[in-house]
Amino acid sequence: MGWFEQRAGLDGAVAVVTGGAGGLGLAIVNDLAANGVRVAVIDIDPEATRQLRDTLAAGDHEAVVIDGDARDPALLTQLFEAADERWGRLDILVNVVGGTFKAPFTETRAKGWDALLRTNLTHVLHACSMAVPRMRAGGRGGSIVNITTIEAHRAAPGFAVYAAAKAAVEQFARTLAIEVAPDGIRVNNVAPDYVPTPSLARMPQSDSAMNDPIGMRVAIPLGHPGQVTDVSNCVVFLASRLSAYLTGTTLHPDGGTGASAGWFNWPETGWANYAPMRYLNGAQPSSPGDQ
């Protein structure tokens, strides 16, 4: 057993993952399983769950994978009970499910607000309410990780309710972390910025963003979008004993956009917190190969 395996202590642990069959969730499940974690997964996409079952079985990984909507408390209960029956323990909870749509707040209505809150906040409360008693009963502590977003930390025009819901998850995690700390249960968040996933690709204007290297270089200090493994790496760290003294905090795999806070790396001009006049007058940024 190597240094990482000894210190991480993941082998034989049990994790519940909501929304774990596609995009970020799939990367998280695969990386947890690769480190010996036994996973119980719920996902709303039946084809994705079928493929995940096949992949985990082919890798000889112990798993429970069910089709269903994590926003339904009854189905969440079914998932936790299936993990209870199969393994009799719970060490890790990862809340991945989320989603949004773009619209000015004044053009949205209560039905849309409710959908965003159920998708991004309420299911996290339900899942944590089921996980904490099980972790306490096990007496081994545990780790809860919520996938949030950089939009929980900055204004997000067109995504007001989504940003509010993700900010609520962040604050909920801080408070829950203090309440359950005496039980050895840690609660943390991972807040990525731009990481292309199939869900993101379905949003309007996403294709142009994903294929614009100049825009990526301007907006993201590291100059490129994130990868799903940038997020799953953080989750594995927070799930493991390598982060045993971290709770109530957030990791930011965002390429530096949180730190730049409105500063942009304009081609031929460099860093500025405004659009240079040459671009306002119609000049087109050069491609990286033209520098």
Cα within 13 Å of Cα(150), Cβ side? 19
> Nearest CA to 194 among 231, 235, 239, 143?
231
- Do the beta carbons of residue 40 and residue 30 sit within 8 Å? no
- Do the beta carbons of residue 8 and residue 35 sit within 8 Å? yes
Rounded to whole angstroms, the Cα distance separating 141 from 138 reads 7
Residue in 162, 245, 274, 279 annotated catalytic: 162
Rounded to whole angstroms, the Cα distance separating 175 from 180 reads 9
H helical segments located in 96-225: 110-117, 123-138, 160-180, 198-201, 206-210, 213-219
The torsion of the CA quartet 163, 167, 168, 173, rounded to 10 degrees, works out to 140
For the record, the structure tokens of 63 come out as: 């798993």
194 as an active site residue: the answer is no
Residue type, 286: S
Residue 86: other Cβ atoms inside 10 A: 14
Adjacent-strand bridge partners of 251: 190
Residue 216: other Cβ atoms inside 10 A: 18
Contacts of 209 (CB under 8 A, 6+ apart): 194, 215
262 DSSP assignment: T
Active-site residue list? 162
